Amino acid sequence: MALVEPVPDAPAATADCGDERALVVADYHAGIEVGLRYERGVELRSAADTRRERLLALCERVEADRVVVLGDLVHRIGDPGTGERDEVDALLDALDARGVPLTLVPGNHDGGVADAYGDRMEVADPEGHRRGDVGFVHGHTWPNRAVLGAETVCMGHEHPQVRLEDEVGVGRAEKAWLRGDLRLAPFADHLGVGPEALAWSTPDLVVFPAFNDRSGGTWINVENQEFLSPFLPDALGGGEAYLLDGTRLGAYRRA
């Protein structure tokens, strides 16, 4: 069995971390509705309660010992504002009541989270975190060597989606998983070391869809769409796309 298994029909996965079973999600973007109001003048009713209940239901469904968030727990870059704080407080209260701790691998939106919530959650190194044979990274920075030595590396940041068309040419976007082998050369070049200096086991990279339904994403099957991560697509050896229901779409650029 794979160390990291997607939860059917959900933008979440379970990770076998050795002594714990983790529920892993990426790009929660708490308070996104407040952010969109300030950024774009878009007025949306808050879906904070829905997001929290979805996450809690998944925790119960998979009997999680821990929740790992692959970055961007909050939406607005910098110190969490009122909308983010209210939503994160309610989420942490609910997880505390269930005895489920939260680990955050900080993303580019999480600059103030450690100061605001460091006493209520584990805030990991932004360059990555490893539990057992699974490495976790947001994806906006290059992973550290501990993560690169894992058997499976989980990342967020990209919000992968695929563009699908029906028989009459009407297009729609669907959340997707992207999975493939990591290539050694880009990481060795970045670190300025020879390939033999890295404890390399040809990690399996799993790029998570965004947990938040309002955060947009990268169309991974559309030509000329650029990745956000500094090591993609160069570090991805091949790579296949899957829908949330498990449908295999094949090579991601041809999905």
Query: CATH number of the domain that 180 lies in?
Result: 3.60.21
The contacts of residue 187 (CB under 8 Å, 6+ apart) are 142, 143, 148, 198, 231, 235
Give 150-195 pLDDT, tens digit per residue. 999 999 999 999 988 766 666 688 999 999 999 999 999 999 998 8
More confident residue, 8 or 113: 8
What range defines the domain where residue 132 resides? Answer: 11-254
User: Which position has the higher pLDDT, 238 or 151?
Assistant: 151
Confidence (pLDDT) at 255:
46
Tokens of 87: 């939503």
pLDDT (0 to 100) of residue 224 = 76
45, pLDDT greater than 50: yes
In a domain, 93, yes or no: yes
* Residue at 98 is within a domain: yes
The answer to the question of residue 33 being in a domain is: yes
Q: Is residue 2 one of the residues assigned to a domain? A: no
Range from 54-58, 86-90, 108-112, 182-186 carrying the lowest mean pLDDT: 108-112
pLDDT at 135 over 50: yes
Average pLDDT over residues 99-120: 91
Name which of 137, 144, 145, 154 is nearest 71 in CA terms.
137
- The count of structural domains within the chain is 1
- Whether 3 is covered by a domain: the verdict is no
Mean pLDDT along residues 66-92: 83
Give a yes or no: residue 157 inside a domain: yes
Q: Which residue's structure tokens are 């450690």?
A: 114
What pLDDT digit, counting tens, does each position of 186-237 carry?
A: 999 999 998 888 888 889 999 999 999 988 888 888 777 789 999 999 999 8
DSSP string, 84-131: HHHHHHHHHHHHHHHT--EEE---TT-TTHHHHHTTTSEE--TT-EEE
Model pLDDT, residue 238: 82
Is residue 5, in this structure, part of any structural domain at all? no
Residue 68 domain flag: yes
38 pLDDT above the threshold of 70: no
Q: Let me know: does 108 contact 77? Beta carbons within 8 Å.
A: yes
Q: How far is CA 217 from CA 42, 96, 142, 197, in A?
A: 18, 31, 20, 35
Residue 157 contacts residue 229 (beta carbons within 8 Å): yes
